[in-house]
Amino acid sequence: MNVTGEPGGKRTSRVRAVDEGVPDDRWRRVHPVSPVLNAWKALAAVLAILVWQNADTVAQVLASPWASSHGRAFIVVIIVAGLAVFLLIAGVYSWLAWRATSYAVTDDAVWFRSGILFRSQRHARLDRVQAVDLVHPLLGRVFGLGRLNVEVAGGSGSNLSIGYLTTPVLEDLRAEILARAAGVYLDSAGTHQPDADGGVGAAIAGEDTTDSRTGSHTRAGAPVADERPVYDVSTGMLLGSLFLSVGVMLGIIATVALVVGIIVAVVIAGPGVLLAAWAWVPMGVGLVSYVWGRFSGEFGFHAAVSADGIRIRRGLTESRSQTIPPRRVHAVRVVQPLLWRRRGWYRVTIAQAGYGRDHSDASSTSSSTDVLLPVGTRREAELALWLVIRDLGVEDPIGFIQAGLFGTGADHGFLPNPESSRLFDPWVRRRRGVALTETVLAVRDGRLSRELRLAPVERLQSVAVEQGPWQRKRGLATLHMHVVPGPVRLRAVHVDAEAASALLERLLPLSRVRRASEPPEKWMMRVSSALDRVGVPEAGVEGTEQ
């Protein structure tokens, strides 16, 4: 803050633009070691480069007459002093960065400011918050620290990452943000205040109370919704699903064949063959990286439901606690790979608003936030689907799912690809199909790897019909149903052109009628009722990090 003089002897404060909008007493600081955890990779890289580039110089100095005259102990002292100076500079930078980093939560937005020379202040409006996730990286878990990611509509460039903070502070901060986003008023001290009709009740900060209307608990001044476990993925099932994937299986076979071939070549031609084998190392590294990424990212997968949405906790080296609001899910993909059929396993992924990514296949990313069920039984896959799509719009939903996963032809309202598309789809023509009910649009595809993709009609952003020259000659067209970027893409290829036009005419008015979303309290009532019917036991586990 700079002080300037004005005529009349008055002195006023010049406030930087990045400091406006939030009172000073609302700002909170992150943990003091946050700058070190955020920049440790860069600091380690700088130190490694300095050591690597000067290793020869140090060796020459140690072998020189000057070193002999002064003693090697003196040289070691100089090196240690240099490292101490480097660490001192890094410590001063970290302290300045910590002093310049703070966050605040108001009734309208979440604020975050940082920067030493070039200061920045960003905010995420609460009415645009899509999800609030907790992330505990490996190094952060050593210190019991983690980050809070606020995902907002508008893509990854508009999201906020606050940290590092201790786990209790993270949980209270997430609860506070969710409470304010839901319209619960909290004063600057964190006290839970009554609403206009006095029905919420007051809870003093730090106490543990229960809201008689919502059933949620209040910890440290913010309401925390209880959760009910739904399903867990065992380590054995996760490992089995990875090694029963066609890509991983082919990679293992190719790696074993390559190793055997190298051994035989070395025996016949000598060790010189090993130089040529280095060209295959990237393939092995890529396979190991893929398998480890999937295993580490989906390890300990636990799903539960609460009034906030679907809560997911997962991760081996990096622990992530994620909340998926059902109203943010725009499309669902249920897939059964070929080698999973005998086991009866399925995988469920979703496309949700706010994350701003565009993966062709979420299974290839270790830290994907789009996985609703990494691997599970048919019952668990149907339950996962039920959590995010309230109504399939048909009288026989189980039969509809059955037709989507295993059926061919015109089963349960699916429109199959016509005979004229046999030239383009000789293998999967009978499996391909599209269905439009009163509530969802479904696309069926795949013969070796069976897929069913569904999207509520109110979530479709636009629909396009494309027709190439060869398709035009055979009376075919391709339907593109656009949803938010993500791993689920809805595209029905080589469908009958007239049927595609009729489907489009029917879809547009349906999407306008179905715009009303399901309120959170009704979602929780529907899901709880469904869990009771399928026999999932109820457990009053408070929504905290395990």
pLDDT in 10s for each residue of the chain, 546 residues: 343 444 444 444 444 545 556 888 889 999 888 887 877 666 676 667 766 766 667 667 666 776 667 666 777 787 788 778 877 887 888 888 888 899 999 888 899 998 888 888 888 888 888 788 899 988 888 888 999 998 886 555 567 889 899 988 998 898 888 888 776 655 555 554 444 333 333 332 334 444 433 334 444 455 566 788 999 999 999 999 998 988 888 888 887 887 788 788 777 877 766 666 676 777 777 778 888 888 999 999 999 988 778 899 999 888 898 888 777 888 999 999 999 999 999 999 998 876 655 443 333 334 467 899 999 999 999 999 988 888 898 989 889 999 999 988 888 889 999 988 888 888 888 899 999 998 899 999 988 899 999 998 888 888 888 888 888 889 999 888 888 877 888 888 898 988 888 888 888 777 766 655 566 656 677 777 777 776 776 654 333 333
Q: What percent of the chain has pLDDT over 70?
A: 73
Supply 377's token pair.
């039984």
Between the alpha carbon of residue 402 and those of residues 77, 99, 104, 415, 451, the distances in Å are 74, 58, 49, 15, 11
**Cα–Cα nearest to 389, from 351, 425, 440:** 440
**Cα–Cα nearest to 309, from 375, 361, 354:** 354
- Predicted pLDDT at 4: 40
- DSSP-derived 3-state class of residue 18: helix
Supply 62's token pair.
């140690």
Question: Residue 226's CB: how many other CB atoms inside 10 A?
Answer: 19
**Cα–Cα nearest to 24, from 50, 53, 1:** 1
Single-letter residue type at 429: R
Q: Is the separation of the CB atoms in 536 and 528 below 8 Å? A: no
- DSSP-derived 3-state class of residue 72: helix
Give the strand pairing for 226-232 and 302-306.
Answer: antiparallel
Question: Residue 42's CB: how many other CB atoms inside 10 A?
Answer: 10
Find tokens 């070796």 and name the residue: 448
- DSSP-derived 3-state class of residue 103: strand
Single-letter residue type at 168: P
10 Å CB burial of residue 15 (0-12, 13-18, 19+) is exposed
Between the alpha carbon of residue 292 and those of residues 251, 314, 349, the distances in Å are 14, 14, 19
Q: Is the separation of the CB atoms in 440 and 412 below 8 Å? A: no
C-alpha–C-alpha distance, residues 522 and 507, integer Å: 26
C-alpha–C-alpha distance, residues 76 and 94, integer Å: 27
> Where do the H-state alpha helices sit in 120-166?
138-142
